[in-house]
Chain A
C-alpha cells in the first residue's frame, strides 16, 4: 500500500484529531487552516491509522498556503526565535529577504518532491531577528544567505542525534562521577557511533573543562538541523520556521504563557498554531522516506559508480561524510528529550510516539549484525571548519550563527545529493566537481587528493555521488 493510499484510507478518522479553527466556515472560505490538530488526542505510541492521519494533517500544513485569515504575516513580530516585537509593521505581508518570505513550506522544499530541496531562487536570508531585523538588502553584513535543504529522512537524522547526545551525556556523567570518586581530574574521549567530538576533563569538584571539545556545542547536545547544525529538533525548527517564513506563530512559544499575549504578532489572530499542529508538521517530516542509493541502468555508470564509491573512501571523503550511522531505535518520541523551554518538552504534555517502523520505507533500511538500522546519511552530525587561507569559497558569510563561527558548518549529509543541486550552503555551485573543489579547512586533504586524481577517477567519484538520489 502506498503512502498516499494509506493516507486516503484513514481520512475518515480525521474528526478525532480535529479542533475547529473557526466555526461556520463556508467550503470556499479563504482559509488554508480550517481546523487545528488537537494535541490531547496524541497520547502514547500512535497506531498506524492515527499516525498516518497525523502525517496527512502535517502534509496539509506543510503545503498550506496560509492566508491572512489563518494568521499569516507577523505585523509586529520579527523573525527571531525569541518572541521579539518589531518597531513598526511592514508595508507588505511578504518581503522576500527579511520575511515573511514564503506562502507555504512546500514552495521552497519542493525538489524533486515535496519536502525536498530548493533552487537558488528560494534561498533564504538568515538574520537572528534582533538587530536590523527589517533589512532590505542581500548585503551579507545583514544576513547569511542559505540554500534550501531537503528534509527527506529527517526523522532518522533526529533520532541519530538524540542517541548521540545520550551517549555524550553518559560519557560526561561517568567522567564527572569518576573524578568525584577518585579526587583526581579525569579526561575522557567524546565518541559516539564512531564519531569523535574531542574530549572533556572533569575536575573532582564537578567542574567540566570543555576547551578540547570538537564540533559540538558546550552542552554536548547534537543539533542536527540547519546548515550550521544549530537546531535541536524538527519541532524547534518548525516553530522557528513557521514564524520566520510565514508569520504563523505557535502557541508553545509565542502564546500567553511566555509572552502574555495570545496574538503576539498583533495581526488579529490568536493562537495561530496549536501544539497539535506543530506535532502534525513534525510527524510528517519525521516520516519522510530517506533518500536512496540508486543503481543506474547504464552498465558503464554502474561500473564508474562502483569505482567512485571506492574512491570516496580512498581519498578520505568518508572521514566526515560517514556512509551510515547505526540507529538503535525507530521510535520517535514527540516532544523530544533535548529541547529547551519555548519548544514543547516532555513533561509539559504526555506526548506521543511515532513508530517509524510503521512506515513503508522502514523495512528497506539495512541492519547490522546487532540489529541496528544503518542510516545512510553520508554525514557525521558534526561541525567542521570548511575553509582555509587558500580554499575559502565557502567562507562567504560574515555573520556567525548561534555561537558558531562563520566558516564552520555541519557536514552536509550527502544522501539525496544528486536530486538537490545547486550545492553549497548558499547554492553557489552548479556542479559536484565545483563543490568538492571548494572544500577547505578540515576537508582540505581530501579535496586536494581529489584534485590530484586522474580525470577518470574524479569522474568515477561524480558517477557515484550521482547515485545518491531522492526517489520520486
Chain B
C-alpha cells in the first residue's frame, strides 16, 4: 500500500502544475450552483455506520414511492437501520422530509449497503432492491410508500454474499428485468480477504411466468470484488452489456470487466483478444454519459487517486471495446483534494453526470472520502463538483458550490427534490450525517444567487413490461446541440435515482425531444418549451406537461 501511495503521489506531483487556469485564477465563467446543506432542518438525521463490512457501500435511492412524482429517499444505514423518507418539500422551497418508520420491513432494514429502485413486476409501483451484507432483498412497492418482502414471491434467493453493486436491464422477449448483483469479498473463503472475491450474480427472469421468477441465477465468474456495475450500450447495438468496476485492493490478477450480454445466452467477459485492455484500479463507482454526443458513452470510473474518464479509442470496433483514458485531458482526474492542506490522494466513490447549473453541459459529481483511516490517502477529502466547460472538459467548483464538507462520502442521489428545475443532492456519509444539499441557484464569482439556465425534466411511460422505459435513450435537440440521456438502473456507488430525467438546456427556451424506446423504436419528435416537466407516453402524439402542486 505504501509503495502504491508513493507512486500515486509522484503522479500527482507531475499533474499539479498542469491544473486548469481557472483553478489558479479563482474565477469561473459559468454559474456555480449554490448548494445549501439542510439535512437536519429537512428532517434527515442519519448516518451510515459499521465495521469493516461497511467501509464500502452507503447508498441511497431517490424515487417516487407515493405517486406524487416528488422523489422520496431510501438511505442505507449499515449497522444502523436503513430509513425511508417521504418527500414533503414545498415546491421551490426548502427541503422537507418525513421518515416513514414502517415503510421498509424490519428484516430488510438491517445490514443494508445500498438501494436501487425499479418496477420489477410491472405493476406501476417501483420496487426496491436492497443490497445487504448477507441476504439481499427485493421489496415489492405498493401504494403510499409501502414495501413488502418479495424474495419468496419472486423466487429470488438473496444469497449470503456481501453485496455492493447492482444493475438491471430489460432484455428483449423477457417479461421482467434481468438483474445483476455485484459482490465483494467472500469472507468465508480461506485466506480472506486477499484474493477471495465473491462471484457476481446474473439473473434472468424465467419466461412464461405471470410473476417474476428469478430462481435460476448464473454466476459471473470470476468476480473481482465489484463495487459498481451498469448495463451499458457501449457499442450502440441496442443490446446493453454489463460493465463492472472492481476493487483491486482485494483481487489477484483481476481487472475492470465488461460482460457481453446476448439475449438467451450466458454472459461472457470481453478479453484481451477482444480488444479489452486490462485496467486495474480501486474501482468504486461508475457513471456514464455521452459527453461528445457521438452516440457512444464515456465512463467515469472512480478510484483511489485518479478518476478515470474512458472514451472509445480509434481502434475500437463494434465488437472490440478498446478504451483510453481522457481524464487528464478533461481535467477530470480529481486525484487529490482541491481545497485544504491535505495533498494526499483522494478516494472516490459515487459518480454522477448531471447538469447542476443548467447551462446545457454535463457536470460530474464525485463523492469522496477516506475508506476509514488510511493514512496514505487524504483524510479531508471533499466531494467534487466538476462543472462542464463550454469548450469541453471540466473545472472544479466543489468548494464554491458549498459541498466541500469534512465528511467521508460514499453513495449519493441526485434529484430535483423540490421540483424547481435545479438538481439537489443527497450524499450518504460514513459515520457522519447524510448531507442534503438544496440547489438554490447560481452564483458567479461571488455574485448574488440568481436563476440559472433553462431546463427540462422528462418522464417516460409505456404499458406492459418495463413501464418506466429502462434502457431508453432521450435526445433533446435545441439548435445544433443534442443532449442525450439514458434511463438506467445501476452504476454510481450503491445508489441511484429514478424518476424525471433532468436536462439543462442553457439558453435554449425550447427543444425537440425524441425517444428511442428500449426496443429500439424511435418516437416522433415532441416539441416542448423549456422549464417544464414533460411526460411522454409511448405512442402519444403529443408530450404532456406535468405541474407540481402550488
Given A219-B532, A256-B29, A258-B507, answer yes or no on A207-B546 (Cβ-Cβ < 8 Å). yes
CB distance A342 to B507 under 8 Å? yes
B508 part of interface (Cβ distance < 8 Å)? yes
**One of B391, B453, B481 near A258 (C-beta < 8 A):** B453
Question: Once the chains are docked, how many angstroms separate the CA of A23 from the CA of B391?
Answer: 31
Given A208-B546, A257-B29, A341-B507, answer yes or no on A218-B528 (Cβ-Cβ < 8 Å). yes
CB distance A258 to B506 under 8 Å? yes
CB distance A210 to B30 under 8 Å? no
Given A176-B547, A208-B547, A219-B532, answer yes or no on A260-B30 (Cβ-Cβ < 8 Å). yes
What are 6 A-B interface contacts by the 8 Å CB criterion?
A176-B549, A210-B544, A257-B31, A341-B453, A342-B507, A345-B451
Interface residues of A in 190-211 (CB under 8 A from B): 205-211
**One of A80, A219, A348 near B479 (C-beta < 8 A):** A80
**A83 — which chain B residues lie within 8 A by C-beta?**
507
CB distance B506 to A341 under 8 Å? yes
Question: Once the chains are docked, how many angstroms separate the CA of A257 from the CA of B27?
Answer: 11
CB distance B510 to A403 under 8 Å? yes
**One of A82, A221, A345, A402 near B481 (C-beta < 8 A):** A82
A253 part of interface (Cβ distance < 8 Å)? yes
Interface residues of B in 14-31 (CB under 8 A from A): 29-31
CB distance B67 to A342 under 8 Å? no
A27 part of interface (Cβ distance < 8 Å)? no
**One of A173, A253, A256, A403 near B507 (C-beta < 8 A):** A253
CB distance A341 to B358 under 8 Å? yes
**One of A130, A180, A211, A345 near B542 (C-beta < 8 A):** A211
Q: Distance (Å) between the CB of B293 and the closest chain A CB?
A: 15
B45 part of interface (Cβ distance < 8 Å)? no
Q: Distance (Å) between the CB of A192 and the closest chain B CB?
A: 19
Given A260-B389, A340-B509, answer yes or no on A207-B451 (Cβ-Cβ < 8 Å). no
**A341 — which chain B residues lie within 8 A by C-beta?**
358, 451-454, 506-507, 509, 530
What is the 8 Å Cβ interface bit string for chain A, positions 214-235, against chain B (1 contact, 0 not)? 0001110100000000000000
A-B contact number at CB 8 A: 104
B211 part of interface (Cβ distance < 8 Å)? no
Question: Once the chains are docked, how many angstroms separate the CA of A83 from the CA of B29?
Answer: 16
**A208 — which chain B residues lie within 8 A by C-beta?**
544-547
Name A264's closest neighbour in chain B (CB-CB). B390
CB distance A206 to B391 under 8 Å? no
CB distance A342 to B506 under 8 Å? yes
Q: Distance (Å) between the CB of A9 and the closest chain B CB?
A: 35
CB distance A82 to B508 under 8 Å? yes
Question: Once the chains are docked, how many angstroms separate the CA of A128 from the CA of B478?
Answer: 11
Q: Distance (Å) between the CB of B35 and the closest chain A CB?
A: 18
Q: What's the tally of chain B residues with a CB closer than 8 Å to chain A?
A: 40
Question: Once the chains are docked, how many angstroms separate the CA of A173 from the CA of B444?
Answer: 33
B373 part of interface (Cβ distance < 8 Å)? no
**A130 — which chain B residues lie within 8 A by C-beta?**
479-480
B550 part of interface (Cβ distance < 8 Å)? yes
CB distance A259 to B450 under 8 Å? no
A459 part of interface (Cβ distance < 8 Å)? no
**A24 — which chain B residues lie within 8 A by C-beta?**
none
B69 part of interface (Cβ distance < 8 Å)? yes
Given A341-B451, A341-B453, A403-B510, answer yes or no on A82-B479 (Cβ-Cβ < 8 Å). yes
A binding-site residues for B, Cβ under 8 Å: 80, 82-84, 128-131, 172-173, 176-177, 180, 205-211, 217-219, 221, 253, 256-261, 340-342, 345, 347-348, 402-403
CB distance B506 to A402 under 8 Å? no
Q: Distance (Å) between the CB of B168 and the closest chain A CB?
A: 26
Name B504's closest neighbour in chain A (CB-CB). A341
Name B531's closest neighbour in chain A (CB-CB). A340
Q: Distance (Å) between the CB of B539 and the closest chain A CB?
A: 15
**A80 — which chain B residues lie within 8 A by C-beta?**
479-480
B binding-site residues for A, Cβ under 8 Å: 29-31, 67, 69, 358-359, 389-391, 444, 450-454, 478-481, 506-510, 527-532, 535, 542, 544-550
CB distance B542 to A210 under 8 Å? yes
**A347 — which chain B residues lie within 8 A by C-beta?**
450-451
CB distance A217 to B452 under 8 Å? no
CB distance A260 to B67 under 8 Å? no
CB distance A218 to B29 under 8 Å? no
Question: Once the chains are docked, how many angstroms separate the CA of A261 from the CA of B391?
Answer: 9
CB distance B390 to A261 under 8 Å? yes
Given A83-B507, A207-B535, A342-B506, answer yes or no on A257-B450 (Cβ-Cβ < 8 Å). no
**A402 — which chain B residues lie within 8 A by C-beta?**
510
CB distance A342 to B454 under 8 Å? yes
Q: Distance (Å) between the CB of A244 and the closest chain B CB?
A: 14
**A253 — which chain B residues lie within 8 A by C-beta?**
507
Question: Once the chains are docked, how many angstroms separate the CA of A403 from the CA of B529?
Answer: 10
**B389 — which chain A residues lie within 8 A by C-beta?**
260
Name B451's closest neighbour in chain A (CB-CB). A347
Question: Once the chains are docked, how many angstroms separate the CA of A397 from the CA of B547?
Answer: 35
CB distance A206 to B548 under 8 Å? yes
Name A85's closest neighbour in chain B (CB-CB). B480
Given A84-B479, A342-B454, A342-B509, answer yes or no on A260-B544 (Cβ-Cβ < 8 Å). no
**One of B478, B480, B508, B529 near A217 (C-beta < 8 A):** B529
Question: Once the chains are docked, how many angstroms separate the CA of A25 from the CA of B547?
Answer: 54
CB distance B529 to A207 under 8 Å? no
CB distance B544 to A209 under 8 Å? yes
Given A83-B507, A219-B532, A403-B510, answer yes or no on A206-B358 (Cβ-Cβ < 8 Å). no
Name B543's closest neighbour in chain A (CB-CB). A218
Name A347's closest neighbour in chain B (CB-CB). B451
**A217 — which chain B residues lie within 8 A by C-beta?**
529
Question: Once the chains are docked, how many angstroms separate the CA of A131 from the CA of B550?
Answer: 40
Name A258's closest neighbour in chain B (CB-CB). B507
Question: Once the chains are docked, how many angstroms separate the CA of A177 from the CA of B548?
Answer: 10
Closest 6 CB pairs of A and B: A260-B390, A342-B507, A340-B509, A82-B479, A219-B529, A256-B29
Question: Once the chains are docked, how many angstroms separate the CA of A172 from the CA of B530?
Answer: 17
CB distance B530 to A340 under 8 Å? yes
CB distance A206 to B546 under 8 Å? yes
Given A218-B529, A342-B454, answer yes or no on A82-B547 (Cβ-Cβ < 8 Å). no
Name A202's closest neighbour in chain B (CB-CB). B547
Q: Distance (Å) between the CB of B245 and the closest chain A CB?
A: 32
Given A172-B547, A260-B391, A261-B390, answer yes or no on A205-B67 (Cβ-Cβ < 8 Å). yes
**B528 — which chain A residues lie within 8 A by C-beta?**
218
Extra pairs beyond A173-B550, A342-B453 (9, CB < 8 Å)? A176-B547, A207-B535, A207-B545, A207-B546, A208-B546, A209-B544, A218-B545, A253-B507, A342-B454
